[in-house]
Structure 1
Amino acid sequence: MANWQEMMPSTRAYLMDKVLYELHHKPDHLEAYNADADAYLARFGLPEELATAIKSNDVAGMYLSGVNPYLLRAHCIGVKIPEAESLAALRSLLDHEDYNDG
């Protein structure tokens, strides 16, 4: 089940939240990310699959990793993922095994 629904987020969810928070709430971070996403994400020591989810704008993957929905929404707006695309990715999870196991 997605971590954001649990009482205590996992370390993976915390790391993803931290990255997305800093990326969109600290001056010049989005500019640094846009200039070199790999170098920016390397600062955080994310597992490769989480860094890849961010770089590839995998909205569903980020959601399932436990990202706070509000931070995920801020990320979609900040990197200009079209709303229809982000909503379609989230709706695709309605039948997803990891989402419905709880």
Structure 2
Amino acid sequence: MSNWRQMMPTTEAYLLDKVLYQLHHNAEDLAAYNADKAAYLARFRLTPDMAAKISGNDVAGLYEAGVNPYLLRAHCIGVRIPEDVSLAALRSLMKEGDDKWLS
């Protein structure tokens, strides 16, 4: 089994995916997250760094951690990260020559 970044997803990627899935597939979870991010994220076995990536809307950090791109997109929409901001974060990870397929 693989995800987009690793041949075998890391525990970190799995946990981040799990949180984002629950957060954006259940209205009660999103309401609880919006009311108190720290309390909501404390329900999961996240490291402080993992919780900071979610609560800080670190799009680039979540992507680099191996989060499923569809769950990352749902998070951006769900917490209203403007599209230009999320795309800029992802583009900041591109290396020289990575944009050849964008033309």
TM range (shorter): 0.7 to 0.9
3-state DSSP of counterpart to 2:4: helix
- Provide the alpha-carbon RMSD of the alignment: 1.4
The structure showing larger relative contact order (alpha-carbon pairs under 8 Å, at least 6 residues apart) is: 1
Provide TM-score, normalisation by structure 1. Answer: 0.87
Gaps of 5+ in 1: 97-102
Bigger proportion of residues as helix: 1
Q: How many residues align?
A: 94
Partner of 1:37: 37
Inter-partner Cα distance in structure 2 for 1:7 and 1:26:
29
The percentage of counterpart residues that share the same residue type is 67
Inter-partner Cα distance in structure 1 for 2:36 and 2:56:
14
Gaps of 5+ in 2: 97-103
Write the mapping of 1:15-30 to structure 2, written as runs, cut at 5 A.
15-30=15-30
Shift of 1:9: 0.5
Shift of 1:26: 1.8
Q: What CA deviation, in whole Å up to 9, does each residue of 1:45-69 have, x standing for no partner? A: 1010110011111100010111000
Provide TM-score, normalisation by structure 2. Answer: 0.87
Which of the pair has more CA radius of gyration? 2
Partner of 2:60: 60
Shift of 1:76: 0.1
